[in-house]
Amino acid sequence: MSGAKEGAILVVFGATGDLTHRKLIPAVAELRRAGLLKGALEIVGYARQDLDDASFRDLLRQTVEGDGTDDVIASTCYVRGDFRDAAGYEQLAKRLQEIERGGSYAGRLYYLAAPPSFYTDIFRGIGAAGLAKEEGGFRRIVVEKPFGGDLATAQELNAELHEVFDEKQVFRIDHYLGKETVQNILVLRFANGIFEPLWNRRYIDHVQITVAESLGVEHRGRYYEEAGALRDMMQNHLLQLMTLIAMEPPVAFEADAVRNEKVKVLRAIRLPAPHEVPRLTVRGQYGKGEIGGERVPGYRQEPDVAPDSNRETFAALKLHVENWRWADVPFYLRTGKRLQQRASEISVQFQRAPQRLFPREARLKPNVLRLRIQPDEGITLSVGAKVPGMKIELRDVEMEFDYDSFGQRGTEAYERLLHDALIGDSTLFTRKDEVEAAWQVVDAIERGWQQEESGPEIYPAGSWGPESADELLHHDGRRWHLR
Ligand code: BG6
């Protein structure tokens, strides 16, 4: 017998969509270049379009960009099949067996890159064709977001998924967890002794999380009309960032140990009653405006968007984590499209010194630890310092760490996540209970919004969102750091 099997087969459902050429093929090429793929990785595309191996490769060649992608494309193949039709899955099973007869493969990774309305059909199709059984190798499934549209649909989806796969076979993607700067939150907090003693309600005044985009909805109007900023960004990316900031130290850097702590945070978020929602949240929608000197249309003028749409493209929330560490410390979360600039940042604002010793000390800003997630990745700690000279004069200064100082390129989110799914490490993927707990928070807000008579507040494209988002903090005597 030979040693451990090393290769794997990646089956992409919905292979003719954007994700394959934009993210997956370049990620495979980069993993290959970096020597991070053990053995062969065969890619099997599955989709409805009438293609064969050669025309599938041609299609990829027209759209994929990046070094080393030609070799990856050359080793792809294609199975044509409907997501609802058993014959397609039978065909796929045959193709997989053929490939497996010709090489040594540790298992198969099924990747759902199809529209979410087909997820259930695909789970069932895989199950009925016996493709989920771990006979002769691992069988794992990567599920892209959105995972459901509210708690009930997420629970149904989980139930369907678990008819076919065990939780340990499931990898739910939140690509923010694959970002270097996001993984670094855990390292910063738990590989350094100085933060943990301060990381609580005694020393932290509040936390701000901003994920701002300058782009609009682009060609995704149809999807976005359903989703909005709350489902598209808050439910996953921003709440995930919040869990990493708020979680307790895990007992080990292992998938379940980390995720146990994250889910506790989500469960500890106080769910606002509908009548409290207007006081704790803001929703906005971009109107026309100017970004980087260019005039851009409003959301309601975008393709596939209803001219009277009330879908939010901006959301700001004030959340509370009800546990001993965080009681009374607000977490302000904010995300929006067509904002002034693309910038994602977490700021942890510390309380002021308990006593003022110096003249005009009150003019200093409070200490803020800013984790710049993207772009311009880095960490800044602002402190007060004495200006050189005979007088006691204080000024704000910044201690700065820049990711560029490593002098090496970071791993792209999809490279990291694809790699981890192939080796079976689910630390950076969201677990069933986590995704459901996040929906619970979103549902509570959505219920409040549905009872509101007014729609979202219109903000000009190129601004920092509705004025009410500023008032949300002013009301508490605070302000957004990023603006
Ligand atoms: C996706 C959302 O999950 O994240 C998009 O669906 C959004 O609407 C994107 O633009 C932002 O990701 P990133 O990595 O560019 O910050």
Series of mean pLDDT values for 10-residue runs along the chain (483 residues):
75 95 94 91 97 96 88 95 96 97 95 96 97 94 96 98 98 97 96 96 98 96 96 98 98 97 98 98 98 95 97 98 98 98 98 92 94 95 96 95 90 95 97 98 97 95 98 97 91
What per-residue confidence (pLDDT) applies to 409? 82
What residue owns the CA closest to ligand 1's atom 2?
Answer: 232
Cα 211 to middle of ligand 1, angstroms: 9
What residue owns the CA closest to ligand 1's atom 15?
Answer: 213
Distance CA 39, CA 249 (A): 36
What residue owns the CA closest to ligand 1's atom 10?
Answer: 213
Cα 65 to middle of ligand 1, angstroms: 20
Give the max Cα distance, the chain: 85
C-beta of residue 8 within 8 angstroms of C-beta of residue 41: yes
C-beta of residue 323 within 8 angstroms of C-beta of residue 199: no
Residues annotated as part of the active site: 237
Distance CA 138, CA 168 (A): 11
Cα 175 to middle of ligand 1, angstroms: 8
Q: Which atom from ligand 1 is nearest to the alpha carbon of 215?
A: 10
What per-residue confidence (pLDDT) applies to 2? 44
Distance CA 431, CA 433 (A): 6
Cα 232 to middle of ligand 1, angstroms: 8
Pocket mutation for ligand 1, best pick of 172, 180, 209, 213 (most atoms within 8 Å of C-beta): 213
Distance CA 21, CA 83 (A): 20
Distance CA 195, CA 198 (A): 5
Please tell me the pTM assigned to this model.
0.96
What residue owns the CA closest to ligand 1's atom 5?
Answer: 232
For Cα atoms 100, 103, 109, give the angle at the middle one, nearest 5 degrees. 50
Cα 358 to middle of ligand 1, angstroms: 45
- The answer for 304, left when phi > 0, alpha when psi is -120 to 50, beta otherwise, is left
Query: Residues lining ligand 1, judged by CB closer than 6 Å?
Result: 145, 213, 232
Cα 315 to middle of ligand 1, angstroms: 15
Pocket mutation for ligand 1, best pick of 232, 339, 374 (most atoms within 8 Å of C-beta): 232
205 to each of 31, 82, 317, 326, how far by Cα in Å?
42, 54, 17, 10
User: Which residue has tokens 């109107």?
Assistant: 287
Question: Which residues is 461 bridged to in the sheet?
Answer: none
Pocket mutation for ligand 1, best pick of 144, 174, 175 (most atoms within 8 Å of C-beta): 175
Neighbouring C-beta atoms of residue 430, cutoff 10 Å = 28
C-beta of residue 361 within 8 angstroms of C-beta of residue 384: yes
Cα 4 to middle of ligand 1, angstroms: 38
Q: Which atom from ligand 1 is nearest to the alpha carbon of 179?
A: 14
Cα 341 to middle of ligand 1, angstroms: 14
Q: Which atom from ligand 1 is nearest to the alpha carbon of 413?
A: 14
Report all structural domains of the chain as residue ranges with CATH numbers, in order of start: 8-144 (3.40.50.720), 177-410+431-474 (3.30.360.10)
166 contacts: CB under 8 Å, gap ≥ 6: none
What residue owns the CA closest to ligand 1's atom 8?
Answer: 232
Q: Which atom from ligand 1 is nearest to the alpha carbon of 374?
A: 16
Interhelix angle for 255-268 vs 239-246, to 10°? Answer: 100
Q: Which atom from ligand 1 is nearest to the alpha carbon of 217?
A: 8
Dihedral pair phi/psi, residue 408, rounded to 5°: -145, 155
Of 427, 429, 428, 432, the closest CA to residue 255 belongs to 427
Q: Which atom from ligand 1 is nearest to the alpha carbon of 223?
A: 6
Pocket mutation for ligand 1, best pick of 18, 233, 311, 341 (most atoms within 8 Å of C-beta): 233
